[in-house]
Each structure stands twice: as C-alpha cells, then as structure tokens.
Structure 1
Amino acid sequence: MNRAIFRTVLVTGGAGYIGSHTCLELLESKTYKVVVIDNLDNSSEESIKRVQQLTACGKDDLVFRNCDIRDRRRLKAVLDEFPNISSCIHFAGLKAVGESVSKPLMYYDCNVGGTVQLLEQLNNKGIKNFVFSSSATVYGEPEMLPLVETARLQATNPYGRTKLFIEEILRDCHASDDSWNTLILRYFNPIGAHPSGKIGEDPQGIPNNLMPFVAQVCVGRREKLSVFGDDYDTPDGTGVRDYIHVVDLAKGHVAALEKLYSDQVGCRAVNLGTGQGVSVLELVKGMGKATGKAVPYEISPRRPGDVATVYADASLAQELLGWKAELGVDAMCEDTWRWQSTNPNGYQQQVQDIESEQ
C-alpha cells in the first residue's frame, strides 16, 4: 500500500457499534494507523475483521488487542507495544440505561474507574490528544430546545451520570495540566449501518434501543415493536429524537481528531446530531419503506423518565470541526435493513457458519 501513515490512534471499545464504524473511517482517511483495545463484553472481533476487509488495509494498519481498560498491567503492555500512539478515542464502557439503574456499581467501576485507569496510562506516556464518547444523556430532561452545549447538565440515571462524571474528570485534568487536548462528543441517537451491510449494530440479548429492536422485528427475530406512548405533545403523539446515521457520527470523530492534531482546543464539549427531530412512528414507517413491509407494532404505556422531544443544536460542530450530518432517515433505514437482512443474527451467524465447516 503506497501511502504514508503518520499518526497512530488508540481506539478503546473499537470492536463495538460506533467504534468499528469509526475505525473504518479513520482508515479510509488514509492518515491513521489504528490500535483497537476491547474486552469483547458486548462486541465481536468479527467486526474488526470486516473493517480490515472493507478497507483492504495492511495487517499493521489495524491491530486488535483483547484488553479491559480496567486492567492496568495489560493496558500498559499495549501502550508499550505501540510507542507511536499519539491520540486516543475512548468508546469503551457499558451503555444500557436500565441495567445501570439495577447495577450502578458495575457501571461506575467500568465507566468511571476504567476511564481513570486509561487516563493515568495515557498521561504516563504523554498522550494528551483525547476524544471522549459522551452522550446527550448528560442533559437529562431538556430545559430548552434545541439543546446547546451550554445547557444545564443534569443526568437522571447512573449511565448518564458516569458520562457526566467522566466529563468533569476530563475538565479537571485539563485544569491541572493544559497540555491535555480534549474534545467531548455528546451524541444523540446513533442508528444505521455501513452501506456495505458488512458492519452494523449487534446488541446482545434484547435490544435496549429502538432501531435494532425494529430491525429484529423486520427480520423475524421479534414478534412486534412496543411503542411507549402515543399521547406526547408531538406531531404524531410519539417521542421525537435526534437520530444520527452512524457513518456521519464516525466521520465526526475523525473530524474531532483532525482538530486536535491541528489546534490546541483545551477541553470542549460538542454536540453531534442532525439538529432535527424524528418521531418513533416516522422511523417505523421509514423501516417499512426500506423493507417493503409494514412493521408490526403496538402502543404501550409511557416509560418513566421519557420526555416528548429531544434534539440538538449542532452548529458548534460545523463551526469548530467543519462537520455536519449528511445522511437522512431514508439512508438510516435502508442501511439498517441491508445490515440486518444479510446478518439476521448479527456477527454470530458467520462465526457459527465457520465453526460448522471445520
């Protein structure tokens, strides 16, 4: 491969949904080597193999190491093995809101404790360019719309609080040492898949998020979708959210990394969203259009804590990073269906097929 790669980035949780798409975009930029660490707790190494196939990258351009960010010794060994690492994109962590309510200590240990371990090891190596995968959950129930980065932070569940606490840790790190160059990316509702259909969202167990559940209904793994509430003050009565295509989101991380390498930004939070709200039923209809078949659903009672409408003001991302979302609902639904229909059981299906042939 006749090209010069001059930056090496550590991607924690890089085998996961957003992480794998970001690895692909990093490699497609022809600027980065990528070192992925992931404990495969809620991901599959198969995603990394598929990224390698899609990008036709060299064996040294994308490297995977099975490592838990809480494992100080193993983490140090990876950083020792790849001394050219000069930046980190941090995705690794637990992310189910409901589970965080029932198992808060597990979430604080993994998300907060793991991030502290990671930051200590990066600090020891002088790696100060840092992109953090945060979430719009740090805003809690919105006081204003669209949500701007200066809105009050008031996470309402343990998962959201872990994100908020990590943000505060990152601000404290920069206050103590201004060589830390950090972008906190607060993204809203990532959906979709790579247009190749080769990589996508593959949650273990019952999906916690709307789109993978809808996709599993469409492919026959689930009987029907439960729509929680149809009496909100929205155009069709169902909840409205800012859904963003995962490919756009991945490109936002590349734009953030480019910014860190070109400028000292301090520690700043940036929303990544489309700036437009889409209702649950609009998304359901979009999936029906993509599949050619109506999605079966039933109306269920509202869930505690759900709000009617949440969407971002994404203008800072365009101003600071030169980034904006390009892909709409049709692409989100079509790409989701292409992934789910060709991988009805996610990555596990191919693994089982390979094993059965041996």
Structure 2
Amino acid sequence: MTILITGGAGYIGSHACVTFLEAGHDVVVVDNLANAREESLRRVARITGKSLAFEQADIRDGAAMERILRDHGCTAVVHFAGLKVVGESLRDPLAYYDVNVTGTQRLLSAMERAGVHQLIFSSSANIYGPPQILPVPESHPAAPMSPYGRTKRIAEHLLNDLSASDPKWRFAILRYFNPVGAHESGLIGENPLDVPQNLCPFIAQVASGRREKLMVYGNDYETRDGTGLRDYIHVVDLVEGHLKAYEALQTGADATRCFTVNLGTGTGYTVLEMVRAFERATNRPIPFEIAPRRDGDVGECYAETQKAADLIDWRARFGLDDMCRDAWNWVCKNPTGFED
C-alpha cells in the first residue's frame, strides 16, 4: 500500500515515515518545508535502507494534492501537516484557521476527487481544555482554550460529519498528549527552528549549553512537587499508534469506520521530574528558575488510554528515562539539529 504522509519531513512525520516503511508500505511525503528540513527524509532513508518519494507542496493547494495522490497511487493519508504552537495561534489565528481548517478541507476534497477515502488525523489533547476528569477520557467535554485547539476540534467535526454523510470514508482521529524523545539511531529528532516551545527540547538546549537556564512556570500547583504535570509520550510509541490505527481501518469493522482515541502513556510527570530525568540522562545539572504561573496553564493533565488498547491494540512501551535518553542522544549527535 502507498501511504501519503503530509508534514512528513517534520518531527513526528519523519518518525512515522520510518514506522510505515519498516512495516512494508510505500511512502510519499508532502511537506512545504515551512517548519521542517528535507534532510530529515534523507536520514529516514538511511535508517530504513528504503527509498521514499518527496513532493514539496502545500496542503492548501488542492490541485497539487490531487495530482500527487493520483500520480503515486496513494491508498490512504496520514495527516500531520499543520501549525501547532498555542501562543502563536493567539497572536495569528487567521494563519491557524487557514492551514489547520482550510488546509484539511482542501486535502479532503482532493482525496475525494482522487478516490482516496482513508485518513489518520493528528489531533491534540489541547481540545479538552482544563481537565474535569483525570485521567482524561475521550468522552471528556471539549473546551479548547486557544485558536490552535479550536482548529483541531473543528477538523475533528469535519471528519465526523464527512463519515456520517458517506460510509466509504474511514477516519482515525488520534489525540496526542506530549510527544518527546527521538529515534534510537540519533539520526532524526525534534528540530526547533526557533526558540523551543516545548519543555523537552528546551531542557535539552539548556543541557547542551545553548541556553542558560530553564524557566519553570509555577511551583504551587496541587501536584507532587508543585510544578505542572503532563503525560509525555515517546515519539516512537506515538507513531506506532498511527500504524495500529491504519491497520484497524483496514478491518472494515463498523467500530473503526470513524474513531477517536487518546495517544498517551496514562502516567503524568511533573516539570521537575522531567528535569531530574534529563540530569540522569546527561549526567550534568540542569539549572532552572521558578517563575509565576502562566495564564492558561493547567496543573495536571494525563490520558486515559484503555480505549486505544481495546480498539487498536496499542499501548505505550517507553518510560520517561527512555524518552530523555533518546532525546539527549539526538542532541549530542546533532547539536544544531539538521543544520549540521
């Protein structure tokens, strides 16, 4: 089968390329390279010993997407392409609605014209808003607090409405918690092109000496040590969830015609526990400073994962020390990311 992976040159997308290639699928990547580097795909080929096709294009270009789907004989799409920074979405909501909503709509229209009706969608735990129930189940009320989260929720509605309108469509909606880590080879990993927006790459840059210290926002939450608690998931576990979701779509079962599952570990770790795990991985201290809470941050959030286990036979395998070890291995081998 030939799988089209949108955003496939990015952090999660490149790891998904490895997983799908190693499972025996042909892979075509579409990426506009706005937040990624083509070098990641050359690294994917080195890891797997397999070739993959690359098309530099934008998902908002419906004609290009239709041509790519037809030319490569694609049978399914794994859709990572999109904007994903909460703070940036507050400053520029038009861009987020354009890429994440309009882009997804144009991709689906191109798929319809090309006769491709299976898609695995990259959604987010951000759609839940402040947790009312812990661990957070898929049935939790949706109350996204940012344009980013709202665009993901609108795209989910679009997929559900399209599935209800025509049974030929099959969708897997995967709500990510906090992806971290890197491939064990150290050849691909998270490659922020600017100041890191996520905790793990920021700590890694502090450990490597690129940044002076970590700012820890809030130490008065009702958690084990007062710092915010999140569900961190190894990126390799995350992309294996996509392969399992794809396989579930192939069964033809009604339960997997359009389904939504969380992808997390079901275990929460605090900011300071992440810092200590990085100190173990790097064998060096991670300087940090406590700062006031940031508006909009919640104290704790972690996933209920039983539905993913039951429906697609998936559970996370890696723990926090594994995540930090692999993230540090990537940074050590690529101190300035793919720019090396």
Instruction: Report the TM range for the smaller structure's normalisation.
Output: over 0.9
Select the residue among 195, 198, 219 that pairs with 2:184: 195
User: Given that residues 219 and 226 in structure 2 are in contact (C-alpha distance below 8 angstroms), is that contact kept between their aligned partners in structure 1?
Assistant: yes
The answer to whether the aligner puts 1:17 opposite 2:11 as a matched pair is: yes
Matched residues in 1 for 2:276 and 2:319: separation? 14
1:289 is matched with 280
Gaps of 5+ in 1: 1-6, 350-358
1:66 is matched with 56
**Counterpart of 1:262 in 2: which secondary structure?**
coil
Matched residues in 2 for 1:74 and 1:129: separation? 18
Q: Residue 236 of structure 1: CA displacement?
A: 0.4
**Counterpart of 2:310 in 1: which secondary structure?**
helix
Q: Residue 77 of structure 1: CA displacement?
A: 2.1
The answer to whether the aligner puts 1:122 opposite 2:115 as a matched pair is: no
Matched residues in 2 for 1:124 and 1:270: separation? 28
Matched residues in 1 for 2:165 and 2:222: separation? 45
Matched residues in 1 for 2:244 and 2:143: separation? 27
Select the residue among 225, 229, 244 that pairs with 1:255: 244
Q: Deviations over 1:61-109 (max 9, x none)?
A: x1111010011222222123112x1101000000110000000001000
The answer to whether the aligner puts 1:269 opposite 2:263 as a matched pair is: no
Select the residue among 27, 32, 38 that pairs with 1:39: 32
Q: Deviations over 1:171-203 (max 9, x none)?
A: 110111121111100010000000111100001
Q: Deviations over 1:220-240 (max 9, x none)?
A: 111110000011000100000
The answer to whether the aligner puts 1:346 opposite 2:337 as a matched pair is: yes
Q: Residue 267 of structure 1: CA displacement?
A: 1.4
Matched residues in 2 for 1:188 and 1:127: separation? 28
**Counterpart of 2:250 in 1: which secondary structure?**
helix
What is the percent sequence identity of the aligned residues? Answer: 51
Q: Residue 16 of structure 1: CA displacement?
A: 0.5
- Whichever residue aligns with residue 9 of structure 1, its letter is I
**Counterpart of 2:63 in 1: which secondary structure?**
helix
Gaps of 5+ in 2: none
User: Given that residues 249 and 257 in structure 2 are in contact (C-alpha distance below 8 angstroms), is that contact kept between their aligned partners in structure 1?
Assistant: no
TM-score (structure 2 length as normaliser): 0.98
TM-score (structure 1 length as normaliser): 0.93
Select the residue among 59, 67, 80 that pairs with 1:77: 67
1:8 is matched with 2
User: Given that residues 129 and 261 in structure 1 are in contact (C-alpha distance below 8 angstroms), is that contact kept between their aligned partners in structure 2?
Assistant: no
Q: Deviations over 1:134-182 (max 9, x none)?
A: 0000101111111101110111100000000000000110111121111
Matched residues in 2 for 1:126 and 1:215: separation? 44
The answer to whether the aligner puts 1:325 opposite 2:316 as a matched pair is: yes
User: Displaced runs of 4+ in structure 1, greater than 3 A?
Assistant: none
Aligned pairs for 1:154-303 within 5 A: 154-264=143-253, 265-303=256-294
**Counterpart of 1:344 in 2: which secondary structure?**
coil
Q: Residue 263 of structure 1: CA displacement?
A: 2.6
Q: Residue 124 of structure 1: CA displacement?
A: 1.3
Q: Residue 119 of structure 1: CA displacement?
A: 0.2
Matched residues in 2 for 1:181 and 1:78: separation? 20
The answer to whether the aligner puts 1:55 opposite 2:45 as a matched pair is: no
